[in-house]
Amino acid sequence: MKSAPYDIVIPTVGRASLVETLCALRVGAGPAPERVLLVDDRAGHPPPLPLPADLGILTGRVEVHRRGGGGPAAARNVGWRAATAPWIVFLDDDVVPTADWATDLMRDLAACAAGSQGRIVVPLPKHRRATDWERNVAGLAHASWATADMAYRRSALAEVGGFDVRFPRAYREDADLGLRMTSAGHAITVGRRTVLHPVRPAPWHVSIGKQAGNVDDALMDRLHGSGWRRRAGAPRGDRRRHLATTAVAGAAVAARVGRRRRLARLLALAWAGLVGELAVRRVRPGPRTPSEVAAMVVTSAALGPAATVAYLGGLVRARRLVGEGGGPDQVAVGSQRSDPVEAVLFDRDGTLIVDVPYNGDPDRVAPMPAARAALDRLRGAGLPVAIVSNQSGVARGMLELAEVDAVNDRVVELLGPFSAVVVCPHGPDDGCPGRKPGPGMVQRAAAELGVPPSRCVVVGDIGADVEAAQAAGARAILVPTDVTRPQEIEAAPVVVDDIAVAVDLVLAGTVSR
């Protein structure tokens, strides 16, 4: 059987289970991955990731990419964009691939065109009934497109733009991607490879925190219409019941405040009945220990308000992220973005740093307000950032290239890493197509990043930045300064007050051409 080159992407928050995942990969049969890209999703300055002392067949193949706390969707984007193999396999950092996983993966990839889902087995205790939390985790065994073990062709990921970073938690980002994949005509098959997903310890109130997923459900309704659950094979859940229970509780409180005591008592009894029925339904299949029963009773009373607050907040958030037009039933499947942004290119002087004409002194570099925070948000969302800068001072004899490089090094030191830094040293009379407003630097930066110019956004402060983007087929955002001419502002397709708003537009996917 012919081997298919593949890279593995594992987003991680540094859980100890990552060691178990890597140990299973290092000793398994079958062809090794080209690379294992660990995307460290911990915020701040965490300690090094826990890795096995002996990586076995993974030696020299493991890479760690820092991203910093923006959620698994953005982390996976960082991973697959850094990958080079034609197949990308996403694993979670708490699964254990079986001994034949890699061998079965080759058979799975040979039998599919664009996407292959692995089988997830959740071991449950054999000596007692499963708890509510254990049954919740066991639902992964029947989930469609779960990225606990999911393989996609890199070209298919690039076509649909990868994961949507508007899903900040590990909940619906995989269903959203699966819907966009299938609506683009890519079939997703179920393979034979298997990973184990042990149930990790969780606090007794874990079910309350899980209601935050209702935020993502509101966005799914907005993006894919009310029928997305059926198409994605997702169970409906208890949201409607939670909303009704909360409404009854609110009505009871209102009646009590309005001194309608009889009505308040009736509504309170109705609320207690709804909560009690839910608690009984959750207790019946479980171990029925005193601690489990107590947890089910308390959390059943809290689930309604938690789910309602999350969903209503999600409705507001979804409306802001997706736009004002149309209701959920009028949004076509896969209508997220026809041409998603994959990279952001910045002019340097006047956009990222204060413009000091023909500056060759690193000590005179001063970041523009909010530049570092804006760049970090893009990096956190998994979008590569680059610099495209005219440096005609070299052609005029006022600068040396070494001085330009020194200033750029200082920019990196102050503002963080860039995936590409492209400079044109020519003057306006040299006829260089790379010099803005020509398209050359934008095209070159896009090529270095491995994305088409049409999926790049150029952010700059003058008309030449906008014209260069348009000439290359990219999108443009103008952030005017004192040197920006009125006619440049009038001609720009998108004008914002500062770089933070520009990033808001990029992350919301609303940058027009």
Residues involved in catalysis: 347, 349
Stretch (H or E) spanning 63 = strand 62-66
> Could you give the angle at the alpha carbon of 340 between the alpha carbons of 222 and 449, nearest 5°?
150
**295 close to 201: Cβ distance less than 8 angstroms:** no
Spatial CA neighbour of 384 closest among 162, 171, 176: 162
Edge-first strand listing for the sheet containing 188-196: 62-66, 35-40, 6-12, 87-91, 149-153, 115-121, 188-196, 96-97
Spatial CA neighbour of 196 closest among 339, 99, 323: 99
In 365-498, alpha helices (H): 371-380, 401-415, 440-449, 463-472, 486-491
How far apart are alpha carbons 286 and 277 in whole angstroms?
A: 15
Which amino acid is residue 51, in one-letter code?
A: L
Q: Around Cβ 53, how many Cβ atoms within 10 Å?
A: 5
Spatial CA neighbour of 292 closest among 198, 200, 206: 206
Q: Which three-class secondary structure state does DSSP give residue 282?
A: helix
Alpha-carbon distances, residue 315 vs 79, 219, 223, 324 (angstroms): 30, 7, 12, 12
Stretch (H or E) spanning 203 = none
Gyration radius (Cα) of the chain, Å? 26
How far apart are alpha carbons 181 and 267 in whole angstroms?
A: 46
378 token code pair: 């893009």
